Amino acid sequence: MKQAIWCLVLALSLPVYTQTQKPAPTLKSILLEQLRSTHNKAEWFVPANTAVEGLTPEQASWTDGKGNHSIGQLTNHLIFWNRQSLAKFKGETPEKFSGNNDETFNSFDSKQWNTAVQQLDQVLTEWEKVVEAADESKLKDWYSTIARIGTHNAYHIGQIVYVRKEQGSWNPAKGVN
């Protein structure tokens, strides 16, 4: 009798278990998770929106005097490369580029800091939208590039947080001590 009751309990709980399981990840879901974690979803590291929030134009322009980039320069670099790749993904002509990567950092104007923050959010949001709307075939052609975009973004976001720590403008409660 105890065995029969145990089997009944097990059988009744089985559908509940299967209903709570997550669906298997797809290429799209993995790429979106990577893009969101570097945009606005705090997980293993600080996302871009958190990294740049609350900075003044002066703080965004600050450098350590050792030849390292400012937060504004890093942000402009991220905007540029995300836009370049996004245009290509969408089949559009990307912005002209001389091939000198230094130019992607050095075009920062502190008067445009608030605009740069908005542009970073916009391009990262657009990436998420186009990946969400893309078919599996397109994603199979682009998955490696999109994954590298996430890695590239994470790398420079880490630099932004480091610069903020160096200048004393980072709040450790925002995610990284």
* In contact, 143 and 151? CB cutoff 8 Å: no
CA 156 to chain centre: 10
Q: What is the mean pLDDT of residues 67-90?
A: 97
* Confidence check: pLDDT of 44 > 50: yes
CA 34 to chain centre: 7
Per the structure, the count of domains in the chain is 1
Q: How far apart are CA 85 and CA 90, in angstroms?
A: 9
Q: Which of 67-71, 81-85, 87-91, 106-110 has the lowest mean pLDDT?
A: 106-110
**Among residues 110, 114, 100, which one has the least CA distance to residue 70?**
110
In a domain, 6, yes or no: no
The pLDDT tens digits of the residues spanning 123-173 come to: 999 999 999 999 999 999 999 999 999 999 999 999 999 999 999 999 999
Q: How far apart are CA 63 and CA 163, in angstroms?
A: 8
In a domain, 18, yes or no: no
What CATH code is carried by the domain that includes residue 79?
A: 1.20.120.450
- Domain range for 111 is 24-171
* Confidence check: pLDDT of 177 > 70: no
